[in-house]
Amino acid sequence: MIRGCLVRCGVAALVLLLAGGCAVRPANTLSQFKYPAAQRDMLADAAKAVETTPWPKPQQASFIVRMTGVGGNDRVSRADAVEAYLQELEASGAGFDRLSQDARINLTAARRLDQAAREALRAPRHSMNDIALIETAIQALREHRHIYADAGKELKKRGYAVNDKVLDAMRDDFRLAVKTLGKTADVLADQIDEDRSATYALPDRTIR
């Protein structure tokens, strides 16, 4: 009877041990996979917000179009984007005030992207796609700086009140945003390189 009790207790203890292991280990494994995915989604959303503009996105001509000059008539140039934006500003009646507000929104999105990128540094795994997202946003910010500046100067030519100091500060803010994101992207790239180096440096555990 005592032996049977011991057997039952041993089985119960084994069940509890296995149940405990199953309850904890999948949760840890799941968190390891979910955390990078959540960070990557946050990073992608932040990058998309930076690229969002109140004007149509300029498109570079393809290599064939540049070489032959044939086709590409439906391409949106920077000048087209500036003109479309000016029409929007004039229609709103807000002029330079609207431009300043739009620029501030864009710069705020850039700061949020930098914050999301820095948060991504804490993730256990990284991808070169993360770097590509940031680099694309950086290129967008460079383009936006030119369009805001060109639109501001054109507003002044058309008789709208334009604060030159605010316009100059705006350009500086965009340069700073580009520089800041560039540094964060470099840190993330270095971390990816370190992770790869550590992986390649692992000893060969192949059973011979």
127: Cβ contacts below 8 Å, ≥ 6 apart: 40, 192
Chain segment 46-84, per-residue pLDDT in tens: 999 999 999 998 876 554 444 445 445 568 999 999 999
CA atoms in the 13 A half-sphere facing the CB of 138: 19
How many other CB atoms are found less than 10 A from the CB of residue 108? 13
pTM of the model: 0.72
pLDDT (mean) for 29-49: 71
Q: Which two tokens stand for residue 173?
A: 């803010």
3-state SS class at 206: coil
pLDDT (mean) for 3-30: 42
